[in-house]
Amino acid sequence: MSSDRAPDALVVRYGEIALKGGMRAEFERRLCANLRVALQPLPRLEIQRTRGRILVRAGAPLGPAAVAAARVFGVTSVSEVHEVAPEEDAIREQARALTAAALERSHAGRARVSFGVRVNRANPLFPLRSNELASLLGADLQQRHPQLHVNLDAPELNVEVDVRDERALLFVERQPGPGGLPVGTLGRGMCLLSGGIDSPVAAWLAMRRGLRVEFISFLSPPHTGAQTVAKVRRLTEHLATWQPVTWLHMVPMTAVQDALRAATPEPLHTVLDRRAMFRMASRLARRRHARALVTGESLGQVASQTLENIGCTEQAARMPVLRPLITYDKVDTMALARRIGTLPISELPAPDSCTVWLPRSPVLRSRIGEAQAAEEKVPLEDLERQALLEIESLRIPT
């Protein structure tokens, strides 16, 4: 057996052991469906659920597939595995080949490399116990590679063997996945996406919690232009790589904002804009069968995010508002934005419809009654309906 034989399959592991009340079956069904979409370009794709894991096979190299699978929400880790007959000789040969290849690839020239062999035996007919097989294999590998020394707690090289009824699976790496719940398990959410740093991160966290997220972005042409459109589009395209299908809805709200500006007190403008956004987003969400709004709000970050202003804004929503970042510090949000790759897009310069007209002294503690009284002076119902008629919707992938 040559050391560079390609892996035969992927093992995809998933967590959320605590799921109850039918959630587990839904989780597994969605996870397989989402994996299928993420791995779609592969020929002869087979996805099989077995003993709390998923085995993936395809008629193509599995390296890129492992990377794609390790991005699917719900996945805790992915390994490229070699399959052999569940017999001691075949397992030993494969363990030797994998170890030699791993040492050459990752630890070449090192005088000492810590290693461990872990065996999991699910086949009761296999003649050796797990730890017997592990020590036999360990001793054999040490004899061939004197630089190996045993460390079972935190080995640099971990040779793992999973002995099942019909075959044994061997692997030396576990690529970590993002965890969470498969997208769609919890239904749909409508994320209010600005071009800022926070809302894309909020959307990602909501997706990781099982929501399929659609995006609504409010634009103020001509104050916001092609740059702003390009930015929300790029953010959406990037976030779309974590779920099967993504929609971006762009709504021009200049007429709503102009009318509010003409008839209401300046300190209230930002809160009133937000209330209009929440109403329009709720209306669109209903149409799209979304059951929650998602925003990037974070307590106390800006004037519009005091508890009073969040309360006043929320009262205009017609469904639950999820705020995954509500307790995050900006540095934590930025670190996550960097990790998921949205930060460089968010940092591109482009005007945003809320910052086009920032009041000089925005109200810090707005009251619902005060906002409602101001809104009565403006034909918002008509203006908001009109704005939603001018919506432009984009499906990704197209």
3-class state of residue 261 by DSSP? helix
Strand partners, 246: 396
Of 133-141, 294-302, 365-373, 385-393, the window that binds ligand ATP (rule: CB under 6 A) is 294-302
Sole window of 31-39, 106-114, 347-355, 381-389 interacting with ligand ATP (rule: CB under 6 A): 347-355
What are the respective helix, strand and coil percentages of the chain, to the nearest 5? 40, 20, 40
Nearer to ligand ATP, 34 or 199 (CB): 199
Strand duo 168-171 + 75-84: pairing: antiparallel
Q: Rank residues 196 and 210 by Cβ distance to Mg ion and give the closer one.
A: 196
CB of 214 to Mg ion, least distance (A): 19
362: contact with Mg ion by CB under 5 A:
no
| Binding partner of 282, given ligand ATP, Mg ion, none, CB within 5-8 angstroms per partner class | none
Calpha distance 36→56 (Å, rounded): 9
Q: Is 28 in the site for ligand ATP (CB under 6 A)?
A: no
Contacting residue, 74, 116, 180, 296, with ligand ATP by CB under 6 A: 296
What the block records as the tokens of 81 is 């595995």
- Residue 81 touches ligand ATP, criterion: CB under 6 A: no
Residue from 73, 204, 218, 242 touching ligand ATP (CB under 6 A): that is: 218
Radius of gyration of the chain (CA): 27
How far apart CA 14 and CA 72 sit, in angstroms, is 10
**Alpha carbons 9 and 398: distance in angstroms, whole number:** 31
* Minimum CB–partner distance for residue 197 and Mg ion (Å): 8
Which residue number, 162 or 297, has a Cβ lying nearer to Mg ion? 297
Smallest separation, CB 191 to ligand ATP (Å): 7
Q: Which does 218 bind (CB under 5 to 8 A by kind): ligand ATP, Mg ion, none?
A: ligand ATP
CA 43 remoteness from chain centre: 25
Nearer to ligand ATP, 102 or 256 (CB): 256
Torsion of Cα atoms, 66 then 68 then 74 then 75, to 10°:
10
Interacting residue with ligand ATP among 99, 185, 194, 243 (CB under 6 A) = 194
Would you say 243 or 353 has its CB closer to ligand ATP? 353
Whether 155 and 116 have beta carbons less than 8 Å apart is answered as yes
Q: Which residues contact 271 (CB under 8 A, 6 or more apart)?
A: 304, 309, 312, 313, 362, 363, 366, 371
Residues in contact with Mg ion by CB under 5 A are 194, 196
